[in-house]
Chain A
Amino acid sequence: MGKFSRLGNDLYNGHRSIDFVGRWKRWYAISAVIVIVAISGLVVRGLNLGIEFVGGTEYSVSLPSEKVTQHNADKLRDVVAGLGIKDAEQPVVTTSGEKAILVQTEPLSSDDITKVKSAMAKAVGIHVGDISHDSIGSSWGKDVLNRAILGLIVFLVIVVLFIWAYFREWKMSVAAIVALAHDLVITVGIYALSGFEVSPATVTGILTILGFSLYDTVVVFDKVRENTTGGKAASRSYAEGANLAVNQTLVRSINTSIVALLPVAAILYAGVVQLGSGSLKDLALALFVGMAAGAYSSIFIATPLVVQLKRNDGDVEAINRRAAARRAAVDPYASVPSFAEGMPVYADPTTTALEQARHGIDPEQQRAAAQRPMTRDRLPKGYLKEQENLPEELEDDGR
């Protein structure tokens, strides 16, 4: 941890700097590849919509873990298919985690549901009460989907307004939205590629990561603004200030992401391994992928994008010009030795005529001394300790 902290300090001071802004082409290319893979996954494989969206009946047969076997799954499939109920002729049977087998059929009437349940209970030798089911007509799905889309639109509008009000800056809003879209596409793409089921819990998870992704971006942009306005802007160009901001918040970003992902990982484990299906898994997977993508995009996408968008802005050009001017004008007082404790009085540039008289200093002689090349003895003690490359003239002790 100590080394990590040291890195944190170096990043903060700018002693060590990762060029996030300058190497934007590389980051954009990486993201572009991931996004293209995600979109092609979405187009080619499509989303595996759960029964909430397409309608159907899903039974969860709770069993002791030693009975959750492929053999029992096959048995359940044969039993259900053999009932002679038209909509249950082709049940989809999967094991779900350690303690359940899932059986899906088309939507059934409540009489048929009772029939299917008692047949399954008999087949694996459990009580009917231990079979859970969820039956949803296909008309519901559209409603759920419409609401999710409406929620997404409303949320995005609120987000744009919020960022605009907070940063007073539409270009930052645009960059934040692009980062959000990036995270969304990647998350949805992973759902398509992995074939995980999409349920209302998934949609909720996806809407939630919009908040998280934005949260990260807000923190980074906050620092960008701090570094590029007022006194802290100093002699940095806008791009440098923004890059420093990312470096300065890097440790925080990493810590935040780890701390946010740890509990989500715990939920994901419980959802996938222990339960195998249901709202925990759906929520956690969307959150996990989305948060990871969100942390990435706030650093690698949002900030470089802001710098590029603002490249031609008047105020940014002013900042950049000032930075360039400061750098071009080599410090005009560089040759004046600065005051230090223990400096010989004659060398002190602030010595007054009265003091000169009192100490018997001849100003003429002193002026001549000042004309001499700078030498080691004329410098205060310890001044050179840190200097590694001494100028040529200091090599010669010319007393």
Chain B
Amino acid sequence: MAAAKVARPGRTLILFLAGLGVLFGLVAIGGTWKPELGLDLQGGQRITLRAKEANVKPDAMAEAVKIINQRVNGSGVAEANVSSQGNRNVVVSIPGKSNQKLVDIVQRQARLGFRLIACSSENPGPCATGGGTPAKASGRAEEALAWRKAPPAAWVTRFEQSTCPPGGGAALQSGEKSASEDVDAPGTPMVACDANGRKFLLSAAPVEGKDLSNASAGQGQNAVDYLVDLRLKKDGAARFLKVSKALYSNGQEAFAIVLDGKVLQTPSMVDGNLSSRSSITGQRSLREATDLATSLKFGALPVAFESDPKNETIGPSLAGNQLSAGIWAGIVGLALVMLYCLLYYRGLGLVVIASLIAAGLSTYAMVLLLAGAGFTLSLPGIAGLIVAVGITADSFIVFFERIRDEMRDGKTMRVAVEAGWVRARNTCLAADAVSLSAALVLYIFAIDEVRGFAFTLGLSTVIDLAIFFWFTKPAVSWLGRFHFFSSGHKLSGLGTETLGVDAPASAAITGGAA
């Protein structure tokens, strides 16, 4: 096998360059030429919530992520990114921006409310007339009932100015609403949307999440559809009874179940005497019923989180400084290594430089490609790349020193390259295996911020191997065909002078000493 490689170093080189071309072709298809930067390099905010229990079931975690995501995006913070990390942490990050209220939004328990519908996009009701003044009433249920009959003009205006995204999505986009506003406090009315893009003006909630004692999915006794069974606690049941009477007598009027600012369902009141026990029928599938029951029951998150989330904000200046420091360190580090190799290895130093450039290009392409898979380049990630310059250059040093050793033993350059290669290859495979397993362990055990370091270190090690096998080795073999190198020119880095051996003729006679 080795013989075949010796014969065609040029072919391997061309194949390698073609591979690099393909890699960049893929990048071109992806269309992004700038790596996705981490929060520490572009600024932004990151909140990390940690579950109280150490091992949360994956589906509970996924549910929590979903709910928090709804909550954050429902609060009007655009482009917030919610993901789980390991089996304990949930990370909320907003690139480029920060908002300290977000901590409260993320942390707070989900808000569930049964609200009365004043007007909706389908049925303007009192809103058509521009609103009015609600009649005086005492008690939460009575107030809400009165409010829905005649919502004040200010709320009607707000209702009219709000829009719902068409085709679902719960985000409410209204003119002046800011994320910091406590939009769905149970005691205040609100404008909300459902998944179908319908818009509602809703009263304060006569019944809220904490009034609920249980919710479970099931099938009706003689019905084909599914239902959700509800149990209410005493106070809530009393208020719900009043609401049910009023709505039922008003032509089985519907009410809205609102979770985290989003209208889940609008069931009609088909019984005028509901209190502690009730059920929401008409669920199309058991899954839908279960989802609703889960949302009602766990309106609170399915996972209990610790009350002191980690909260980081990186301002744009710091991010800019860190980015420029990282780039500076990278350029200077690379230049120093190249300079040293050129001084020490002369002609062969050019191989080092070409290899480092090839490694740099491959790494850049991989970083760009991996950005599609969610990889972001953070400051520790950049540090990993820079440190890897040393690892990569080390492979070449091992190789070149082996070649020199073989030449000191009296071999010609071209033979020495092949002999040195076999030995250097094993050393480098062992060494790279060590640093790869180091990177792997680091990746598993490092905490989020530093994980980027382990990742880029591992990535660079793999790329180093590829470069070493498919670029550096063939390049040196190929150079061996040139008289400049094979004759040991003074500047080739392989001259007798540089090697420190005497001229070959006398070396043969004194050779016995070794």
A and B from one complex: yes
Q: Indicate whether A201 sits within 8 Å of B449 (C-beta atoms), given known contacts A259-B394, A262-B340.
A: yes
Do residues A166 and B500 form an inter-chain contact, with CB atoms below 8 A?
no
Which residue on chain B has the smallest CB distance to residue A275?
A: B325
Q: In the complex, are the beta carbons of A261 and B441 less than 8 A apart?
A: no
* Smallest CB gap from B391: residue in A: A260
> B447 at interface (Cβ–Cβ under 8 A)?
yes
* Distance (whole angstroms) from the CB of A102 to the closest CB of chain B: 11
Chain B residues whose C-beta falls within 8 Å of the C-beta of A284 in the assembled complex:
383
A-B contact count (CB 8 A): 264
Interface residues of B in 100-114 (CB under 8 A from A): 100-101, 103-104
Q: How many B residues touch A, CB cutoff 8 Å?
A: 83
Q: What's the Cα separation between A222 and B398 when bound, in Å?
A: 12
A211 and B434 contact, CB distance less than 8 A? yes
Residue from B332, B341, B434, B446 within 8 A of A162 (CB atoms): B434
Complex interface bits, B397-425 against A, C-beta within 8 A gives 1, otherwise 0: 11001001100100000000000000000
Interface pair B312/A259, CB less than 8 Å apart:
no
Q: Which of B311, B321, B336, B449 contacts A263 (CB 8 A)?
A: B336
Q: Give A110 to B47 CA distance when docked, in angstroms.
A: 11
Chain B residues, Cβ within 8 Å of A158:
437, 441
Q: How far is the CB of A142 from chain B (nearest CB, A)?
A: 11
Q: How far is the CB of B331 from chain A (nearest CB, A)?
A: 8
- Distance between A49 CB and nearest chain B CB, rounded to angstroms: 14
Verify A166–B445 contact, CB threshold 8 A. Answer: no
Q: Are A99 and B321 in contact (CB under 8 A)?
A: yes
User: Which candidate, B134-142, B281-289, B450-458, is the interface stretch facing chain A?
Assistant: B450-458
Q: Would you call B397 and A208 a contact (CB within 8 A)?
A: no
- Which of these, A208, A264, A386, contacts B438 with CB under 8 Å? A208
B510 near A144 (CB under 8 angstroms)? no
Q: Report whether A280 and B431 are in contact in the complex, using a CB–CB cutoff of 8 Å.
A: no
Contact with B along A227-242 (1 / 0, CB 8 A): 0000000000000000
Q: Tell me, yes or no, whether B213 is within 8 Å of chain A by CB.
A: no
Find the B residue at minimum CB distance from A261. B390
Known pairs A200-B450, A222-B427; A259 contacts B340 (CB<8 A):
yes
- The CA of A8 and the CA of B453, in the complex, are separated in Å by 35
Question: In the assembly, what is the distance between CA of A28 and CA of B446, in Å?
Answer: 33
- Residues on A with beta carbons closer than 8 Å to the beta carbon of B498: 1-2, 5
Contacts of B397 in A (CB 8 A): 252, 255-256, 259
**Is the beta-carbon distance between B499 and A9 smaller than 8 angstroms?**
yes
Given A110-B100, A144-B447, A151-B441, A222–B430 Cβ distance below 8 Å? Answer: yes
A6 within 8 A of B: yes
Contact at B434–A274, with CB atoms within 8 Å? no
The answer, yes or no, to whether B351 is at the interface (CB within 8 Å) is: no
Please measure, in the bound complex, the distance between the C-alpha atom of A114 and the C-alpha atom of B438, giving whole angstroms: 40
B100 near A252: Cβ-Cβ < 8 Å? no
> Does A100 reach chain B (CB closer than 8 Å)?
yes
Q: Cβ of B313: which chain A residues have Cβ within 8 Å of it?
A: 131-134
Q: Is A43 in the interface zone, CB < 8 Å from B?
A: no
Whether a CB of chain A sits under 8 angstroms from the CB of B393 is: yes
Are A140 and B427 interface neighbours, CB within 8 A?
no
> Which residues on B sit within 8 Å (CB–CB) of A14?
514
Cβ contacts under 8 Å, B50 to chain A: 139-140, 143
State whether the Cβ of A266 lies closer than 8 Å to any Cβ in chain B: yes
A10–B446 alpha-carbon span in the complex (Å): 45
> Quick check: is A269 within 8 A (CB to CB) of the other chain?
yes
Cα distance, A135 to B314, chains bound together (Å): 11
Question: Which residues of A in the span 113-161 have a Cβ within 8 Å of any Cβ on B?
Answer: 113-114, 129-140, 143-144, 147-148, 150-151, 154-155, 158-159
State the CA gap A159–B436 with chains docked (Å): 12
Report yes or no: A262 in contact with B333, Cβ–Cβ below 8 A.
yes
**Quick check: is B85 within 8 A (CB to CB) of the other chain?**
no
Residues of A within 8 A of B501 (CB): 9
Do A283 and B380 touch (CB < 8 A)?
Answer: yes
Measured between beta carbons, the chain A residues less than 8 angstroms from B445 are 147-148, 150-151, 154, 207
B residues neighboring A (CB under 8 Å):
40, 50, 98, 100-101, 103-104, 306, 308-319, 321-322, 324-326, 328-330, 332-334, 336-337, 340-341, 343-344, 379-380, 383, 386-387, 389-391, 393-394, 397-398, 401, 404-405, 408, 426-427, 430-431, 433-435, 437-439, 441-442, 444-447, 449-450, 453-454, 457, 497-501, 509-510, 513-514
In the assembled complex, 9 residue pairs joining A and B whose CB atoms fall closer than 8 Å, in A order, are A12-B405, A13-B408, A137-B306, A155-B442, A204-B453, A208-B438, A262-B340, A263-B336, A263-B387
Using a CB–CB cutoff of 8 Å, the interface residues on chain A facing chain B are 1-2, 4-10, 12-15, 52, 55, 60, 62, 99-100, 107, 110-111, 113-114, 129-140, 143-144, 147-148, 150-151, 154-155, 158-159, 162, 166, 200-201, 203-204, 207-208, 210-212, 214-215, 218-219, 222, 248-249, 251-252, 255-256, 258-267, 269-271, 274-275, 278-280, 283-284, 287, 386
In the A-B complex, the 8 residue pairs with the smallest Cβ-Cβ separation, listed nearest first, are A137-B308, A151-B445, A263-B333, A211-B438, A9-B500, A260-B390, A62-B317, A6-B500
Q: What 13 new A-B contacts, CB under 8 Å, besides A270-B325, A271-B325? A: A2-B498, A12-B405, A14-B514, A129-B316, A136-B311, A158-B441, A162-B434, A259-B390, A263-B386, A264-B333, A266-B329, A270-B332, A274-B325
